[in-house]
Amino acid sequence: MDIYVLEHSKMGQKGESLLKLIQNTSLSTIDLLVRESIQNSLDAAKKDSRCVKLDILTGTCSRKELDKIFTNITDALKKKYPGNEASYIAVRDSGTVGLTGPLCEADVKHEKDFGNLRKLIYEICEAQPEKGKGGSWGLGKTVYFRVGIGIVLYYSRIKLDDGSFASRMAAALIEDNSKKDSLLRLAEQKNGNFYCGVAWWGALHHNGEYTDTVPITNEKEIAKILDIFDLPPYEGEETGTTVIIPYVDFDKLHDNANTQSFEIFNNYSLEEMINLSVQRWYAPRLYNNNYKYGAFLDYRCNGSKLRSSDRAKFFDIIKELYNDAEKGERVALYNEFRNDTCAGYLYWRIVSRRDLNMLSPNNEPSPIDYLLKTNKDDLDTSNPPILAYCRKAGMIVNYELRGEWVSGVRPTREDEYLIAFFVLNGDNIMLDNPEVSLDEYIRQGEKADHMSWQDHVLEGHKYKVVRKLHNHVSKKLKEVGAPDESNYERRNDSALQRMFGSFFLPPQNFGRLANSNRSKKGNSSSKPSNKNRKTPGLNDIRIKYVSENELDITWKVILKKKQKNILHELLAMTSTSIHAKEWEDEKTGVGLPFPFNINSVYASYNDEPLNCKLIYSKNNIAYGFEMDTRDVSVVKKEKNEIFCRMIVDCKDASISCNLIIREAEK
């Protein structure tokens, strides 16, 4: 195939920047590849396809013929990557429409007529426009170039409007152009004065004043290249796309797949790690005949399906929760949608180790290990709640073990797990935007890596859907996630009993700083002295009992100087002040979850909201928060007051609490 090297131009992209477009360092390369490639295939499903068949293939091939494909850099490949064989990964789908659309840019008649071919191979930020599909950024495809050395081959077969079939193949390179040993530099291949690190291979195409490349369409030439990888061409009525990534370091890819270096996965093969990733993110659509929004995923690895005995029981439970979500709790939000108040459905189950096949003879890993979220040693003898969530496209956005989705939800005991799934009611219509569905609103608010949901401004209206979902979901899970207190081992020594004296929460004592001054009479003052004080002060503290165990607390923070972040922390007050970490310590403290949990927090300066980030204990209890004050301007001779409010759950009315604030560490 012939080469075309990208020329530097105004506002043009370079390889170095393209490789950084998805700035996700928390997921492994395999996870990113699986999430992106499978979503691309599912989005391209034929309208009449009940399933999309997808095979992830791993193999090796001879370098002799492989290097020749990439004209003008063949010698550079041999020099930089010596050897007689090359490993590759291929993602092959069928039951999809393939890489449709014009072969060359000159044939694009309308800005929306790029087609799958040009969007995937030649364009950046050309996203999937169809509602209910995967991404809205068009950046995920850059993942392909991070798997190997930056070279990717694309092969596809499509059905034309006249009923005939056509094949097309092209290759692309994106590499870090700043490196001295980049392939295009070694081969002295540049277009203009600079190396951009981007090139394409195909058939030469003369387009007016310059020469470009377009995909090759000769069936024999394509078959010859496929034969290098021992891959068959599509035949008969079959259409689909195969993405081939050559020059892959399998060992590096395998080691990277286990992001937390869990010993249990050290003996897993690369194929097993791929299978695990597919289950982790696509359990809702994997072999799921009940999937109702289009084609389900009929997956294989090297030609073999995942048998029931090969699948993790945890992910089978995740699929069951997804299928039965509408039998669960209806999560209603008001003043957000035009007709129905339902934002989605929350279904959960408390399962045992036996339910998860964690007992012999199966001895499956725990769900925490499968999610590669945290080290088991950090969890003590209890398990955090596990919440999965997704929208129509069926890819699990993320699993939440701590944070706003599960704020205040207590861990279960060692032999139990609370597993929940939230499924978005995507067909709902936004209140002030009748043309936008809830699914589309959430889709537009996802970042390029699709790992979280965020509220955003839609045509001038700022919604609070995601924030409300966090509050409603965590509140419902708190009702089912709290373990029976009688099952917790309690200490009966007299010293601990003295700690649980009859201390309540008097407003006049709440809010003093750790080093607050006392009056001559010995009473604590709710308005600390500001003399020579550099730390922020507290003022106007008000406490309202919302219920027997819930407090609504407001106060004002007085800034005396410019500060980056202010840290607020609750202390439990018995005979002394006890920090949450000390309280939950089994050896030196009480050994129980901290008795105060912050449900929600709000802060504003001059009526402008400030960002607040909750801080959690090892038992997933929110005991404090950081308030971002970087944008707060401190003006002399003015009050410089920040209004703060939080809702606090009080688990034990016999224990009072204290609030301390200080500037967070830089």
- 230: CB partners within 8 A, 6+ apart: 59, 61
Helix (H, G, I), strand (E, B) or coil at 606: coil
Higher-pLDDT residue of 194, 466: 466
The answer to whether residue 536 scores a pLDDT higher than 80 is no
Render the burial of 7-36: b for 16+ CB within 10 Å, e for the rest: ebeeeebbbbbbbebbebeebbbbbbbbbb
CB 277 within 8 A of CB 34: yes
Helix (H) or strand (E) holding 616: strand 612-616
List the single range of 52-56, 67-71, 508-512, 558-562 with lowest mean pLDDT. 508-512
Burial class of 186 by CB neighbour count within 10 A (0 to 12, 13 to 18, 19+):
middle
Helix (H, G, I), strand (E, B) or coil at 522: coil
In order, the DSSP letters of 311-350 are S-HHHHHHHHHHHTGGGSEEEE-SSSBSS--EEEEEEEEE
Which pLDDT band, with edges at 50, 70 and 90, does 398 fall under? very high
pLDDT confidence of residue 381? 55
The answer to whether residue 521 scores a pLDDT higher than 90 is no
Q: What is the pLDDT of residues 340-366, one digit of tens each?
A: 899 999 999 999 999 999 988 888 999
Q: Right CATH number for 493-663 from 2.60.120, 1.20.1070, 3.40.1580, 2.60.40?
A: 2.60.40
Average pLDDT over residues 292-312: 94
Q: What is the pLDDT of residues 377-396, one digit of tens each?
A: 455 557 899 999 999 889 99
Q: How far apart are the C-alpha atoms of 125 and 141, rounded to whole Å?
A: 9
pLDDT confidence of residue 651? 77
CB 219 within 8 A of CB 226: no
Of these ranges, 1-5, 106-110, 155-159, 596-600, the one predicted with the greatest mean pLDDT is 155-159
Helix (H) or strand (E) holding 126: none
pLDDT confidence of residue 125? 57
Higher-pLDDT residue of 496, 141: 141
Higher-pLDDT residue of 243, 558: 243
Backbone angles phi, psi at 119, to 5 degrees: -65, -40
- 439: which 2 tokens? 């699914």
Is the bond into 361 cis (omega within 30 degrees of 0)? Answer: yes
Average pLDDT over residues 14-21: 77
CB 658 within 8 A of CB 557: no
Bridge partner list, 241? 93, 156
The answer to whether residue 499 scores a pLDDT higher than 60 is no
CB 101 within 8 A of CB 114: yes
The answer to whether residue 37 scores a pLDDT higher than 90 is yes
List the single range of 35-39, 299-303, 496-500 with lowest mean pLDDT. 496-500
- 87: which 2 tokens? 């490993």
Which pLDDT band, with edges at 50, 70 and 90, does 664 fall under? confident
Which pLDDT band, with edges at 50, 70 and 90, does 496 fall under? very low
Is the bond into 536 cis (omega within 30 degrees of 0)? Answer: no
pLDDT confidence of residue 457? 86
Q: 2-302 maps to which CATH number?
A: 3.30.565
- 296: which 2 tokens? 């389900």
Mean per-residue pLDDT of the chain: 83
**CA 562 vs CA 123, 536, 565, 633: distances in Å:** 45, 10, 10, 7
Residue type, 268: Y
pLDDT confidence of residue 136? 40
Which pLDDT band, with edges at 50, 70 and 90, does 113 fall under? low
The answer to whether residue 376 scores a pLDDT higher than 70 is no
Q: What is the pLDDT of residues 315-332, one digit of tens each?
A: 999 999 999 999 999 999
Domain with CATH 3.30.565 in the chain: 2-302
- 38: CB partners within 8 A, 6+ apart: 54, 91, 278, 281, 282, 297, 299, 395
List the single range of 39-53, 340-354, 635-649 with lowest mean pLDDT. 635-649
Which pLDDT band, with edges at 50, 70 and 90, does 605 fall under? confident
Location of structure tokens 């200080």: 662
Residue type, 551: L
Q: What is the pLDDT of residues 187-214, one digit of tens each?
A: 999 888 888 999 999 998 887 666 789 9
Domain with CATH 2.60.40 in the chain: 493-663
pLDDT confidence of residue 424? 96
Backbone angles phi, psi at 124, to 5 degrees: -115, 145
List the single range of 79-88, 383-392, 511-520, 647-656 with lowest mean pLDDT. 511-520
- 323: which 2 tokens? 């299928």
Q: How far apart are the C-alpha atoms of 511 and 464, rounded to whole Å?
A: 30
